[in-house]
Amino acid sequence: MSVKEEESRIKEILDSLQLLASEGDIPVHAFSMLMKNSNSYIICEQLHHKWLSDALFAEIAAKIIKHLHNMDKRDVALSSGCLALVINDYKNWGNMRKKSRFMFRNSVRALIELYPVYVKIDNCISQSMILPMFHSLHLLIDLDPSEDDIMCLTELMIKFGDLFSELNSVECDKLVIKLRKILCRDDLSFTRKCKYMILQVMDFWTYSWDKTVIPDCLLEFYNENENNNSNNNNNNNNEIKKEEKKNGEVKINICQDKEDILENEIIALLLNNDNQETEL
């Protein structure tokens, strides 16, 4: 298989993962098996492209790296390559942010999502990610932040606040105080959703990121807001869904074809492994 053919194959696998992720849980382990014997450099480059172009893909990339590493812990080419890419993006954050704030935010998401994986792969190496993590989080709020920047920061704080506090409570406190200050600024106007998320970060911080001790009334307050946002999104998407319905059958057929192809590849791979074990 040529390099271009392998690139196309890996891209198709990741595209399918990306599509399935929008529908719910994904069989990352099965997809990882399809990439097991592929060129690590190509996988790194394709993962890098995906996590920069899709705000939701960093979490998927972290799972893929984890699964592939667990399949062969002696092979560190993939994990080392992805770490080099995410650290290089951090070192060039200025140029990336100037080129695209969207890509910069996604690079921060990738750095944060990958950290817990690298703690398990090599705790010593993961230490090199801590300073870039906190610096990147501060950059989101320090440099004339947009609402999208603030939303990115609050999402990461809500999800990883307990981790940030454990790694460096002082830096975590500074981020929370900055969010308090920005909420009180007269020259900035945020949507209700953004304000709710800032408040949620502050409340989680107040109760040491322990959801078991947060008063039920606060949890209900945020759950109610999430439900309202979901209802509003559903209403706003009604017209879009009507249009999508026209092309739904075509999309379903295409997705089914891709899933059938991938399923056949997985079965063939498993049968091949069984045959090899039988011969041994």
Alpha carbon distance 64, 30 (integer Å): 10
Taking residues 116-122, report their average pLDDT.
95
- Answer yes or no: is pLDDT of 275 > 70: no
Task: Domain of residue 164: give its range.
Answer: 144-227
Examine the domain organization and report whether 157 and 101 are in the same domain.
no
- Higher pLDDT, residue 269 or 122: 122
Against a cut of 0.85, is the pTM above it? no
Examine the domain organization and report whether 3 and 118 are in the same domain.
yes
* Domain endpoint, select from 61, 94, 128: 128
Examine the domain organization and report whether 104 and 151 are in the same domain.
no
Examine the domain organization and report whether 1 and 122 are in the same domain.
yes
Q: Which helix (H) or strand (E) holds 251?
A: helix 248-279
Examine the domain organization and report whether 39 and 150 are in the same domain.
no
Examine the domain organization and report whether 89 and 182 are in the same domain.
no
- Answer yes or no: is pLDDT of 251 > 70: no
List pLDDT tens digits, range 22-51.
665 666 666 666 666 778 898 899 999 999
Helix axes 216-236 and 238-246, enclosed angle (nearest 10): 50
Examine the domain organization and report whether 114 and 187 are in the same domain.
no
Q: Which region among 12-21, 223-232, 251-260 has the lowest average model confidence (pLDDT)?
A: 251-260
> Please, what's the b/e burial string for 55-67 (b: 16 or more CB within 10 A of its CB; e: otherwise)?
bebbbbbbbbbbb
In a domain, 242, yes or no: no
Instruction: Look up residue 239 and give its two tokens.
Output: 């017209």
In a domain, 238, yes or no: no
Q: Which pLDDT value is given to residue 229?
A: 64
Q: Which pLDDT value is given to residue 9?
A: 82
DSSP conformational letter for 30: H
Q: Which pLDDT value is given to residue 240?
A: 43
Alpha carbon distance 154, 141 (integer Å): 10
Examine the domain organization and report whether 44 and 123 are in the same domain.
yes
Examine the domain organization and report whether 160 and 65 are in the same domain.
no
**Mean pLDDT score across all residues of the chain:** 83
List pLDDT tens digits, range 126-139.
999 999 999 999 99
- Answer yes or no: is pLDDT of 71 > 60: yes
Nearest to 6, CA basis, from 41, 32, 31, 33 = 41
Alpha carbon distance 251, 263 (integer Å): 18
**Number of domains observed in the structure of the chain:** 2
Examine the domain organization and report whether 149 and 124 are in the same domain.
no
* Domain endpoint, select from 206, 227, 248: 227
How many other β-carbons are positioned within 10 Å of the β-carbon of residue 104? 26
List pLDDT tens digits, range 182-211.
999 888 888 999 999 999 999 999 999 998
Alpha carbon distance 191, 185 (integer Å): 14
Examine the domain organization and report whether 170 and 96 are in the same domain.
no
In a domain, 259, yes or no: no
In a domain, 267, yes or no: no
Of the chain, the percentage scoring pLDDT greater than 90 comes to 50
Examine the domain organization and report whether 44 and 78 are in the same domain.
yes
- Higher pLDDT, residue 75 or 138: 138
Cα angle 125, 128, 134 (rounded to 5 degrees) comes to: 140
pLDDT-based confidence at residue 250 (cuts at 50, 70, 90): very low
In a domain, 41, yes or no: yes
- Higher pLDDT, residue 159 or 143: 159
List pLDDT tens digits, range 92-106.
999 999 999 999 999
Q: Distance from first CA to last CA of the chain, Å, rounded?
A: 26
Instruction: Look up residue 147 and give its two tokens.
Output: 């609402």
Taking residues 228-232, report their average pLDDT.
61
* Domain endpoint, select from 128, 161, 181: 128
Q: Which pLDDT value is given to residue 274?
A: 53
